[in-house]
Structure 1
Amino acid sequence: MKKINVAIVGATGAVGQELLKILQERNFPVGGLKLLATERSAGTKINWEGRDYTVEVTGNQAFEGIDIALFAGGSASKEYAREAAKRGAVVVDNSSAFRMEPDVPLVVPEVNPEDVKRHKGIIANPNCSTIIMVVPLKVIHDAAKVKRVVVSTYQAVSGAGKEAIEELAAQVNMFAEGRKDITPEIFPYQIAFNLIPHIDVFSELDYTKEEWKMVKETKKIMHEESIEITATTVRVPVFRSHSESINIETEHRITPAEAKELLSKAPGIIVQDNPEKREYPMPLHTSNRDEVFVGRIRQDNSIANGLNMWVVSDQLRKGAATNAVQIAELVVKYGCF
């Protein structure tokens, strides 16, 4: 198999570190590896597969000779992604910068893998909550055609980066010590022992940008503008793995038993649903896994063709880094670089 020269932009961050783990775990055919970050992180040594790599400052020249550039997200995408593509790299971008641009495929490999083939240098990795939702949603859509989705998310702090993880840990310790001087820095309010129904900035109709991402990105990924979607996104004091309560209305009736059977056979999904034994997905057990876990599958008692599902997945892996590496694998598989 041809060896691929890979660059990781944002290599020292939470998603960048996951990208390195997943490239190794999935035996991605890495030839050369270049680790890039800001000036603040330049010079950091990172060991990968027994070799020490020195983190370099991200710059246009850094992408010379690179086949695939994995951008971990952040402001670097707008500054360097198009230049990296001009220099011959296929960019897999984890930021929101290009997701809704018509010429940029927005890809979840279990849902729309063929879209990779029409890239023009940049492929966008969707929002983490969108990825987690569309993997099971596509299965239901193929079977019964989804008309409407109502989703509420319960999003772990790691979705906001390493500093957010550290803030929650520090606040928990301060709370345990009985301290009252907890001052939030990353989040607008204390996150320890609290919920914040506000992720990203507020936008049209008082929905947040995070909520609109789920609406708009889902329609693009599934090539279905007709699906009506409404979302409420909430930050919760969990370190890792996002959870989602998803209510689905379909054109054709599908029973919970039929849904469970279809979902259990779908790639990338684990059905964990046994109410009698109190078996259902939880962040505690889904962290550091790549699958999307689905449970609490039941009929919506209020409408004729409705289902409820509880969906949980590790947003640093399937919601970000794993999905990005899977996209890179498709680029190699299809030879479109």
Structure 2
Amino acid sequence: MTQSADFARDPADGDTLRFRGNLSLAHLGDLADRLDGVEDGVSRIDLSGIDRIDTVGAWVVHRFATQRKAEIVGLSDDGARLMDQVQAADQPVAMPAKPLPAGLRVLDEIGEAVSQAGRTLLGLLGFMGATVLAFANVARHPRRFRFNAVVHRFEVVGVSALGIIGLMSFLIGIVIAQQGAVQLRQFGAEVFTINLIGRITLRELGVLMTAIMVAGRSGSAFAAQLGTMKLTEEIDAMRTIGVSPMEALVLPRTLAAILLMPLLGFYASLIAIIGGGLLCWVSLDIPPVTFIQRLREVVPITDLYVGLVKAPVFGAIIAMSGCFQGMLVESDAEQVGSRTTAAVVQAIFLVIVLDAFFAVFFTWIGWI
């Protein structure tokens, strides 16, 4: 019959506690409670007299030995391996922090968001610096310039986007003309709808809406492409063979966006003016000749300059935000999606902030 687990002090050595019997779950009984009542002074635990030991028994002995800082001896090879596993598993459990009060939790989330925004801004500034250095290196060594890659990005960023940007701009021009005519009709000033269409499309909406469309279309594509390459270790392989990812991947995309944004912005403004002119012709009985003549009278050339100055800056921000977020992908495919979303949000936010800055700046220098 299997003997239940028991223990006793060694008569010859009072510091040694000898165990005997079966140290398995079915035969432990109240062993743990009896061990808690053992007096201090135990520095050695002898398990050479036990018949069997399982994980629960090993845990009971290990806990007692840890409390009394005693040494465990006498185990067989299998028992010693089991005890080592139990000791390795004895790690403190991270308890969830006590929930903060609602007010403090809101402040904590705000602080974390501000901190994250600051870290992202610093990272983006560093990435911009790395892009400038890559451009300088290519300028010093023109043979390293990847002309074919830039031309391919021209097609992706510009040519393929003409349809959707044209449709969006045409509809925006119609909406501006319709809403402007409705409001100005109250004062008998429908003719000033032409002023509204010409100035707001050339100066603001043409370039701004194009930038938002490019951010959602091309900026997200840049982040997803580079993120996937980072995930599949293609970028690490490029570094291994001596190819700079900044020169081979980031620079062509950035140059394509910078060069094509002024063209796309002008194209969007032109299509929006056509849409507005069409509605003026149909709804306000203003013929195209009169519409164009009025545009030439009321729209200063500085409005065109404002749009053309802002466009390349917007293109650089969109391309670098997309590439920056793509380069941050590290562990899994889920990060590709989250970084792509972050690239679009970041690019649109920065574009709007820069547009507000440009509005104040151009007003200050007299381009109004």
Fold shared, TM-score > 0.5 on shorter chain:
no
User: TM-score, normalization: structure 1?
Assistant: 0.26
Considering only CA atoms, is the larger Rg found in Structure 1 or Structure 2?
2
Q: TM-score, normalised by structure 2?
A: 0.24
Larger strand fraction of residues: 1
Higher helix proportion, which one? Answer: 2
